[in-house]
Amino acid sequence: MKKTLVALIGLMLALAVAVPATSQDWIDKNTLTTTEKFLTALPGDFYLIDPAAAQKLMETAKPLILDVREKSEFEGERIAGAVNIPLRELPKALDRLPDGRGTPIVVYCAIGHRGAIAMTVLRLWGYTNVRSIRNGLGGWKAAGLPVVTK
């Protein structure tokens, strides 16, 4: 599992910087097949949710609001009710996530990059109802939505 996770994260990082793969020898066939199925099934919106729709979802479905920024960023300002688990700590904090894999999770970071990575990893781990706020906290604030400050 750990070897597969490392391979998947490596693949995601390679895709993120648009480096073309020249060889598939570095990854096992099962991981490649699983990743290919996941990537080809991605919808056009890449599971993004606009800030206003996220706020409405928060009012109606009571999702876990997951802030994957660093603690210092979270302490400065955040969306009310958010739980802070920095992206790099996510694998060690699975016990803080909902038991039910269908429970809604709304992820955000500062501008959307870390949120998209966290959303992708959570979906690969079987969390099927995860969305990332478009443009992160910056998009949330640009939409005029409230934040909690220190």
**Same-domain status, 95 and 125:** yes
Contact 48, 124 (CB under 8 A): no
pLDDT in tens, the chain (150 residues): 555 555 555 555 555 543 444 455 667 888 888 888 877 887 777 889 999 999 999 999 999 999 999 999 999 999 999 999 999 999 999 999 998 778 899 999 999 999 999 999 999 888 989 999 999 999 999 999 999 998
**Same-domain status, 56 and 20:** no
**Same-domain status, 36 and 52:** no
3-state class (DSSP) for residue 86: coil
**Same-domain status, 54 and 22:** no
Q: What is the pLDDT of residue 13?
A: 54
**Same-domain status, 86 and 63:** yes
**Same-domain status, 60 and 101:** yes
**Same-domain status, 63 and 110:** yes
**Same-domain status, 53 and 106:** yes
Distance linking the first and last C-alpha atoms of the chain: 39
**Same-domain status, 96 and 122:** yes
**Same-domain status, 31 and 97:** no
**Same-domain status, 34 and 101:** no
Q: What is the pLDDT of residue 11?
A: 57
Apex CA 18: angle with CA 138 and CA 8, to 5°?
85
**Number of structural domains, the chain?**
2
**Same-domain status, 121 and 145:** yes
Q: What is the pLDDT of residue 18?
A: 38
Which residues form the domain of 24?
2-40
Q: CATH number, domain at 82?
A: 3.40.250.10
Cα→Cα distances 58→11, 22, 79, Å = 32, 43, 11
Q: What is the pLDDT of residue 124?
A: 86
| pTM for the whole structure | 0.76
Strands 83-84 and 48-49: unpaired
